[in-house]
């Protein structure tokens, strides 16, 4: 993922390595001093219960989002594929 531009990731779908659709990339959390991306913030699809996932969920701008550590990203192409 280090070669991906933020503009290319914005709004990209996120799925588990098992093919389960999780949601859409909402934002990223990064270390502003180093420029390192720490976590992806994913807005879950309506049929996804974030509480049933192994990832942490947080409240952001009046909605619950999934915090996915960047270390769980397996691939970035048509989708961002993460390993739960």
Domains of the chain, residue spans: 6-82
What is the C-alpha to C-alpha distance for residues 76 and 71, in angstroms, rounded to an integer? 13
% of the chain exceeding 90 in pLDDT: 57
Q: Reply yes or no on whether the pLDDT at 53 is more than 70.
A: yes
Q: Reply yes or no on whether the pLDDT at 3 is more than 60.
A: no
| pTM assigned to the model | 0.84
CB 79 within 8 A of CB 19: no
- Which sign does the torsion angle of CA 62, 67, 84, 76 carry? positive
Task: Give me the architecture of the 6-82 domain, per CATH.
Answer: Roll (2.30)
Reported confidence tier of residue 50, pLDDT bands at 50, 70, 90? confident
């Amino acid at each position: 993922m280090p070669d991906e531009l933020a503009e290319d990731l914005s709004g990209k779908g996120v799925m588990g390595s098992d093919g389960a659709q999780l949601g859409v990339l909402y934002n990223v959390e990064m270390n502003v001093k180093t420029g390192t991306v720490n976590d992806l913030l994913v807005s879950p699809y309506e049929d996804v219960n974030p509480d049933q996932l192994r990832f942490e969920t947080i409240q952001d701008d009046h909605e619950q989002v999934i915090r996915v550590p960047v270390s769980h990203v397996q691939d970035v192409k048509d989708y961002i594929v993460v390993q739960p």
